[in-house]
Structure formats: structure tokens, C-alpha cells
């Protein structure tokens, strides 16, 4: 998913809203920002043993759609089993995971609504909702980057959002491995999540520019076996402007894909809602207050679907 930039900037905004002392120093900040990418790196893990990489990709899907609170609180509890020297980095990473969930669960419905609306416009797009999803998120990423940082995508490298150290690799791998086994019954070695982040970085750097050789080559291979190219849809296009149709800045009506309720909220409105809710969710997690966390999360999946 190309929502790398939106999650990275959300993390930068969110870390300023949590109590002082929870995330300190450069390494903890990097761990926090990596956590804000959530399970997304799992989706592009392909370099390794096929059975293992498939298990990691399955974990990414499962984490997005079910057992949300259980997974995040299991991640919290996993920190207690880390060496004391690693515990602060672990806490920062887990607080970042909460940030990814907060932004995803609140903003994803407008993305799904947009993809369904676009798919209904033409018959040849009926089977392209996954690609349309990627296209919308790519557009939102470039808009957020310009709106909040006055940067075009040509000035941003995916590596910026995926900074990590040996300690961060070790800790994040241990936390995700514990969640995989205890919550989803999926056994993956602790080295696999850091490997997935590596693959994610390689892939996103290859398609960072819509006209890059990597984007063209990968999408050409992709279209040998499928009608539409997800890579081409996800690749970033230069867009140094405050305009963004996908963000619904004009507050047009759209229908929540899971509840059927009407909304006029813009992506900016939903981003701010997630940013306002995040500190309370983070506090509930740190305190081990699952009841409060469940009330705040309202049982939403990462897709914003109730009943997760």
C-alpha cells in the first residue's frame, strides 16, 4: 500500500501529542515511525522461503481484519519479555502500531467509498477495485506530503519513513512474531518482519516514481498475468498542488461502505479525527485499559469495518 507517506507524516504529528518522555531520542523516534507503518510491510514480503513469506503476507491480512485489540495488547505485553535495554524501543514501536491503526480505521472508509464509485463508472473497471484503492491512496499520499510539508514526491524517499537500527529490527521482529503466534496461530521467525520491511523498502523505492524504470518493468511483468497493474496504480505521480479529488475537499456526499450511512467528511477531517483520538488510544494501551481502548476503537477493523 502506498499510504507510506500519510502514515509517516501522521506519526510525526502524533508523536507530538503524547506525554513527554514516552518516546525519547532518535532510535525511539525511528521505532515509533516504523510502527506507524503497521503490518503493511508484510504484504510485499517475497524474498525468502515461499512458505515463510506466504505466512507473513497472511499475517498482514489477518491483522488488518480481525482481533485488533487482542493483537495490539499482545504486542504491548510482549515488551515485558524483552531485555530492559530494549523495552523503551519496543514501547515506541507498539505506540506506533496504534497510530497506524488509528489512521487506517478512521480514514479507510472514504478510500473504499471512492474506489467503489470509480469502479461503477466504467465496465472495464469493475474488476479493478484493488488497483483503484492503490491509486486513491497514492494520490492521498502525495497530497498529504504537499499539504503538510510543502514537498513533492520527488523530494521524498521511502527510506526516510523506514529508518531502523539493529535494535529496532530485533525488537520489532520479536513483537510481531509474538502477535502472529499468540493471536493468529501463525508461526514466523522473529527475523521475518525486519526482512519484510526490507522488501517493502526495495519495492517502494523501485516504484517511487510513476515513470521510473522499476515501475515500468514491474507493471509490465504484472500485466502478463492480470488485466490491471497494481504497481502502476500505486506508483507516485508528481502533484505539487493543494487540490486532491480523492480527499473530497469540497465535502461532497459519499456513502460509508460498511454501514451505509452518508457523510460529507473530507480526508482532512478524518485525518484530524484520528489525530485527536490517537493520544487517548495510546494512553489506554500504555495503562493496559482494554475497556477504554475498545470503546475508542469501536470494534473497527483497519478497513474501518465494524465488528472486528
Q: Is the separation of the CB atoms in 5 and 156 below 8 Å?
A: yes
Q: Give whole-number Cα distances, 198 to 78, 190, 231, in Å.
A: 23, 14, 18
Report residue 275 as a C-alpha cell: 489525530
- Which phi and psi (to 5°) does residue 95 adopt? -60, -35
Range 223-232 contact pairs with CB under 8 angstroms and sequence separation of 24 or more: 227/127, 227/128, 228/127, 228/128, 228/131, 229/131, 230/130, 230/131, 230/134, 231/207, 232/131
Secondary structure class of 189 (helix, strand, coil): coil
Mean pLDDT of 134-159: 92
Instruction: Give per-residue pLDDT as tens, 238-268.
Output: 888 899 999 999 999 999 999 999 999 999 9
Question: Which residues are registered as beta bridge partners of 170?
Answer: none
Placement of cell 508523536 in the chain: 15
Share above pLDDT 90 across residues of the chain, in percent, rounded to a whole number:
76
Domain regions of the chain by residue span? 4-297
Instruction: Give per-residue pLDDT as tens, 86-106.
Output: 999 999 999 999 999 999 999
Instruction: Give per-residue pLDDT as tens, 117-133.
Output: 988 888 777 777 888 88
- Please state the pTM of the whole predicted model: 0.93
Mean pLDDT of 26-31: 98
Q: Is the separation of the CB atoms in 287 and 58 below 8 Å?
A: no
Amino acid at each position: 500500500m502506498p499510504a507510506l507517506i500519510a502514515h509517516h507524516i501522521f506519526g510525526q504529528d502524533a508523536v507530538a501529542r503524547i506525554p513527554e518522555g514516552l518516546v525519547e531520542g532518535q532510535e525511539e523516534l525511528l521505532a515509533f515511525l516504523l510502527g506507524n507503518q503497521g503490518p503493511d510491510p508484510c504484504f510485499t514480503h517475497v524474498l525468502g522461503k515461499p512458505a515463510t513469506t506466504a505466512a507473513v503476507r497472511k499475517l498482514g491480512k489477518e491483522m488488518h481484519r480481525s482481533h485488533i485489540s487482542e493483537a495490539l495488547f499482545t504486542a504491548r505485553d510482549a515488551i515485558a519479555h524483552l531485555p530492559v535495554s530494549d523495552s523503551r524501543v519496543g514501547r515506541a514501536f507498539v505506540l506506533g502500531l496504534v497510530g497506524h491503526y488509528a489512521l487506517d480505521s478512521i480514514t479507510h472508509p472514504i478510500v473504499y467509498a471512492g474506489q467503489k464509485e470509480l469502479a461503477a463508472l466504467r465496465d472495464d473497471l469493475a474488476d479493478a477495485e484493488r488497483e483503484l484503492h492503490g491509486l486513491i491512496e497514492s494520490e492521498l499520499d502525495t497530497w498529504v506530503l504537499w499539504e503538510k510539508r510543502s514537498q513533492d514526491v520527488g523530494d521524498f524517499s521511502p527510506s526516510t519513513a523506514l529508518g531502523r537500527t539493529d535494535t529496532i529490527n530485533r525488537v520489532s521482529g520479536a513483537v510481531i512474531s509474538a502477535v502472529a503466534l499468540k493471536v493468529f496461530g501463525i508461526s514466523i521467525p522473529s527475523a521475518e518482519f525486519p526482512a519484510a520491511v526490507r522488501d517493502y523498502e526495495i519495492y517502494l523505492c523501485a516504484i517511487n516514481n510513476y515513470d521510473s524504470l522499476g515501475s515500468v518493468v514491474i507493471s509490465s511483468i504484472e500485466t502478463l498475468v492480470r488485466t490491471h497493474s497494481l504497481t502502476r496504480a500505486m506508483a507516485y505521480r508528481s502533484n505539487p498542488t493543494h487540490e486532491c479529488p480523492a480527499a473530497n475537499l469540497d465535502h461532497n456526499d459519499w456513502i460509508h461502505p460498511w454501514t451505509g450511512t452518508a457523510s460529507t467528511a473530507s480526508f482532512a477531517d478524518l485525518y484530524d479525527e484520528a489525530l485527536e483520538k490517537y493520544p487517548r488510544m495510546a494512553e489506554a494501551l500504555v495503562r493496559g485499559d482494554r475497556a477504554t481502548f475498545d470503546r475508542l476503537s469501536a470494534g473497527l477493523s483497519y478497513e474501518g469495518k465494524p465488528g472486528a
